[in-house]
Structure 1
Amino acid sequence: MTGPYSQGGFPEDQGPVYGAPNPYGYQQPLPAQSMYGFGDPYAPYGRHPVTGEPYSDKSKATAGLLQILLGFFGICGVGRLYIGSVGIGLCQLLGMFFALFMSAFLIGIPFAIGIWIWAFVDGIVILSGNARDGVRRPLRG
């Protein structure tokens, strides 16, 4: 038997080709399958259509609603903690607790209102803007 396949395997100059006949009787493996079908295993939630960055596993709607709705109960910053922005989340959360503690002396009421407005506007920005998670990936819709 002569030719490029005489020694078994692929010709040295061509290399393995997907779908090419294989002397061992099996085909090349298919691409990796993500949770949304065949796609990029490094971006299971898809990629941003313009920049090509992989989307985060965190949801924009969940983060924004946590930020806005829990603020009505005096618990600000939970949406930021959810997406991994720990610095801003802890600043809002601990600032609100300190302001509520100081409101017993009537000093903390303006601070509590200010932090609540900050968290509320931050929730709207998360819902409508280009917010990113803790590792700088864009949040998915």
Structure 2
Amino acid sequence: MAQDPDRLRIGTAEREEASRVLGEHFAAGRLSVTEYDERVAAVVAARNRAEVREQFDDLPAPHPTFLAPPLPTYAPMTRHPELDPRPGGDVLPPSEKSRLVAGLLQLLVPFGAGRFYTGHTGLAIAQLLVTIVTFGIGGIWSFIDGIILLASGGHDGNGRRLRE
């Protein structure tokens, strides 16, 4: 059976935080000197969160951080073999774009053609401009990018993993 969080005992760190926050309310003019002294004394004598919470019931934020409700916990996601989990936790279906096509376009047409294909328009335009401005030398960027796409794949413009 889960214990009521308000019944948990508090320590010196929690009392000091609550006193500091009461000082902020006093400085903002929400508490008189007498009220501030009474509330700080009650916080110093408090044994659990409920006794501290009483001192903040009629005050707006800020409140001590330990009085905030606990964050919800979620069950871990399970990986479906046809889906690709991304670092942020999103699960997206694989792209309809091919990594082989993207890589070959990058190698054979070194003007960002493979990146136009995958939907990375900004990157493709940058590769095109660098290649034009450097009289073709910038095509090395597209060439290396093509090798990387062929070797390790990548993602399309929507963040989905390129198809094998």
Question: TM (normalized to structure 1)?
Answer: 0.51
Aligned counterpart in structure 1 of residue 96 of structure 2, from 47, 53, 57: 57
Aligned counterpart in structure 1 of residue 121 of structure 2, from 86, 91, 96: 86
Aligned to 1:69: 108
Distance 2:130 2:139 in 1: 10
**Equivalent position amino acid for 2:109 in 1:** L
Give per-residue Cα distances to partners, 1:37-78, cap 9 Å, x unaligned: xxxxxxxxx433x6653100111000000000112xxxx101
**Equivalent position amino acid for 2:92 in 1:** E
**1:126 correspondence with 2:164:** no
Distance 1:136 1:60 in 2: 13
Q: Say what the alpha-carbon RMSD is for the aligned residues.
A: 1.7
Q: How does 1:1-141 map to 2 (within 5 A)?
A: 46-48=82-84, 53-71=92-110, 76-100=111-135, 112-113=136-137, 115-141=138-164
Distance 2:157 2:145 in 1: 15
Unmatched runs of 5 consecutive residues or more in structure 2: 1-81
Cα deviation for residue 88 of structure 1 reads 0.9
Q: Which portions of structure 1, spanning 4 or more consecutive aligned residues, are displaced by more than 6 angstroms?
A: none
Distance 1:130 1:60 in 2: 5
Give per-residue Cα distances to partners, 1:88-124, cap 9 Å, x unaligned: 1000112212222xxxxxxxxxxx32x2221111001
Cα deviation for residue 87 of structure 1 reads 1.1
**Equivalent position amino acid for 1:70 in 2:** V
| Secondary structure, aligned partner of 2:109 | helix
Unmatched runs of 5 consecutive residues or more in structure 1: 1-45, 101-111
Distance 1:61 1:47 in 2: 19
Structure with the higher helix share, 1 or 2: 2
* Aligned positions, number: 79
Distance 1:130 1:122 in 2: 10
CA 1:57 to 1:127, structure 2 compared with 1: closer, same or farther past 3 Å? Answer: same
**Equivalent position amino acid for 1:56 in 2:** S
Cα deviation for residue 139 of structure 1 reads 0.3
**Equivalent position amino acid for 2:124 in 1:** G
Distance 2:124 2:163 in 1: 20
Structure with max Cα Rg: 2
